[in-house]
Structure 1
Amino acid sequence: MKKSRIGKAFAALALAGFVLTACGGNTGSDETKGSSDVLSVVAAYSSAIEEPWDGVIHEALQEMADAGEITYKYIDKVGYASGAFERALRQIAEEDKPAIIMGDSFGNEESARKVALDYPDIAFVMGSGGGPAEPNFSVFDNWIHEPAYVSGILAGSLTKTNIIGIVGGIPVPEVNRIVNAFIAGAQSVNPKVEAKINFINSWFDPTAAKEAALSQISAGADILFAERAGVIEAAAEKGLLSFGNQMDQKATAPESVVTSNVWNMRPTIKYILAQVKAGSYTSQDLKDFSMVAKGGATLAEINTGVTGGIPADVVAKATAALDAIKSGALRVDINEGVPAGSVTK
């Protein structure tokens, strides 16, 4: 990755702690921007790219930049202070004039939509809990409730105490549906499963997430679901099994992570790139491209090398469920209500 600070135009962002980073072999020269084959994409992330949700988007864009398919720059850690996200987007639109602006507008919805209206010739493609807005504001989200259900099947089959711990960020619909699917999967194979659920009221606070997980372990949980970062470390310290989220997190603790609910942004991005290149882009809900059917959601390889191993019949049960989801034979209900019995910090 090559990093550069972009001139005086971004001085205000730099002073505010924002650094625009250019990624890949091509940093967006005038020659490249004029190419009909290579589009410029700039992303604005509220959180650090180390946070898995934003990290998934960044990883996909970075991969495409490395392959020469796009030019890519980003700002992360923009945060939620009044006006910060709007200023970041306006700087990007005015100075970079990219074909596409991506990012996450959760917590900054009004700002993102306001700026998009002022730049109708730029495709705004944002992670959002709302719907699309004409003429140019498209939305996406991580619809990974399907692999979460399969992870739950594994968890319900592997727990010995019948208590699973789940640590989430904020109990909004987008998080709730993943947590509820995980619980539903666990209880589908083990009705005795009890879920202890804590929301840390933050999108990225690994310390708080780890503390919540350790508390759940003290209360008898022997399986942990890391909806947020920090939980896997707690499970690994105690020699327990865990499940990752958003991306394959096996590398965090190979002895602990059974599998992860993987969100793949590549189908979404490739679709948008094709639309913009063809001149047919319009505002739309990109939900389908983050589902199992279109390759936007999947389950990471089941890690049979975890502590204690995983019985072959349990692996087979989970694999069969995932295959049934892919074929349409199994439909995972979407439940976006706050999980029963959950505690929010």
Structure 2
Amino acid sequence: MSMHRRTVLAAVAATAALACAAPALAQSKLKVAAIYTVPVEQQWVSRIDKALKAAVARGEIEYVFSENVTNADYERVMRQYAEAGHGLVVGESFAVEAAARKVAKDYPKVAFLMGSSGKPQAPNFGVFDNYIQEPAYLTGMIAGGMTKSNKIGLVGGYPIPEVNRLMNAFIAGAKEVNPKAEFSVSFINSWFDPPKAKEAAFAMIDKGADVLYAERFGVSDAAKERGKLAIGNVINTQDKYPDTVVASALWNMEPTIDLAIRNVKAGQFKAADYGEYSMMKHKGSELAPLGSFAAKVPAELVAKVKAREEAIRAGKFSVKVDDAQPKPR
């Protein structure tokens, strides 16, 4: 065989190999869709979006999402994504449990990972939750040590387990360092209504609260306007409120999302509860750095918080999961 012929055959073989490899390469990217009932910038949803975009940046998935989906429209959007060939659908089924679980039954080959207060549903409906009560407890310690009036206000969305457990942990942390602390609690019955949350916070400030737990957007704005302090939740907004937000309990969704992606790709996704991957031992949550308040929080208080944090990480201290609706105390 001539050198020229061998060269031509080699080139043809290489071209064929590339042609075969291209579809295989494309197929290796898992198609993921997410469905959000609120704007994607809302703090809870933004953490899921962040984790999925990190997987996109690594070249592992293709990702699309729908935001501001109404409860009435949720089932239809789920079905659309399942029909479109998405291997993993992520979302929040708190208000649409029955409809979401019905869709999962109709598409057994699609993996569904939903924020839910319920149990997993075989074979393909996994659940998760933001079990970040550990850093919430730590932020409560900081709030209890920073209040001067001994009055702390908490503004939440809805009194559901996912919110209640964080508020109760926060209150418990505050009472550890300040048994004299008193707490006012309010729910705005919305996941995204900053003006309403702001008004609720103003009402608490008018009654003497000088530290506010900002479970919802809008609370930190009220604290800033009145010269009070705020504690963040799920995300760190201190860059926007450098003189207001003392500390935040951060939710890192990456451990949950990354595990789900690996399981789907390996054909091993099961109906499981992924909630534990939001805990500190899995790096699913953490206490944000004090940042602009590093020199403003008393050293003695910082030492207490760090000691408690180390005890949590070492498994020597457990923060109680209390899903009951918190009451003013």
Alignment-mate amino acid for residue 170 of structure 1: Y
Paired residue for 1:332?
Answer: 319
TM-score by length of 1: 0.86
Compare relative contact order (CA 8 Å, sep 6+) and give the higher one, 1 or 2. 2
1:216 aligned to which of 196, 204, 211:
204
Counterpart among 292, 304, 309 of residue 317 in structure 1: 304
After TM superposition, give the deviation of residue 245 of structure 1 in Å.
Answer: 0.6
Give the SS at the match of 1:251: coil
How far, CA to CA, are the matches of 2:252 and 2:109 in structure 1? 27
SS of residue paired to 2:239: helix
- Is residue 149 of structure 2 the alignment partner of residue 155 of structure 1? no
CA drift at 1:32 = 7.6
Please name the residue that 1:19 is paired with: none
- What is the CA distance between 1:51 and its match in structure 2? 1.3
CA RMSD of aligned residues (A): 1.6
Q: What residue number does 1:39 align with?
A: 30
Describe the SS at the equivalent of 1:337: coil
Q: Which has the larger radius of gyration?
A: 2
Look up the match of 2:48: 57
Mapped partners of 1:252, 1:212: distance in 2: 20
What TM-score does the superposition give when structure 2 sets the normalisation length?
A: 0.90
Q: CA deviation at 1:69?
A: 2.1
Q: Secondary structure of the residue that 2:262 maps to in structure 1?
A: helix
Counterpart amino acid of residue 89 in structure 1: M
Whole-Å Cα distance in 1 between the matches of residues 293 and 116 of structure 2?
A: 37
1:91 aligned partner: 80
The one-letter code matched in structure 2 to 1:236 is: K
Separation (CA, whole Å) in 1 of partners of 2:293 and 2:184: 26
Q: Is the Cα–Cα contact under 8 Å of residues 45 and 76 in structure 1 kept in the other structure?
A: yes
2:256 paired residue among 264, 268, 273: 268
1:292 to 266, 272, 280: 280
State the alpha-carbon separation in 1 of the partners of residues 175 and 144 from structure 2: 6
Given candidates 206, 210, 215, the residue that maps to 1:227 is 215
1: distance between equivalents of 2:235 and 2:263? 26
Whichever residue aligns with residue 312 of structure 1, its letter is: A
Kindly state the Cα deviation for residue 79 of structure 1 after the two structures are TM-superposed.
Answer: 1.9
CA distance in 1, matches of 2:95, 2:239: 30
Read off the aligned partner of 1:60 and give its amino acid letter. Answer: A
Q: Distance in 1 between matches of 2:89 and 2:110?
A: 7
Structure 1 match to 2:14: none
Q: Specify the alignment match of 1:127 in structure 2.
A: 115
Per-residue deviation at 1:55?
1.2
Amino-acid identity (%): 46
- Distance between the aligned counterparts of 2:146 and 2:278, measured in 1? 28
* One-letter amino acid of the counterpart of residue 330, structure 1: F
2:133 paired with 1:142: no
Distance in 1 of aligned mates of 2:287 and 2:24: 36
Which secondary structure does the structure 1 equivalent of 2:134 belong to? helix
| Among candidates 67, 70, 76, match of residue 61 of structure 2 | 70
Amino acid at match of 1:333: K
Structure having the higher helix fraction is 2
Structure 2 unmatched runs, 5+: 1-21
Per the alignment, residue 91 of structure 2 pairs with 103
Q: Give the drift of 1:305.
A: 3.1
Amino acid at match of 2:48: I
Change (3 A) 1:254 1:31: farther
User: Is the Cα contact below 8 Å between 1:46 and 1:105 reproduced in 2?
Assistant: no
Number of matched pairs: 308
Q: Secondary structure of the residue that 2:250 maps to in structure 1?
A: strand
Distance 1:287 1:278 in 2: 21
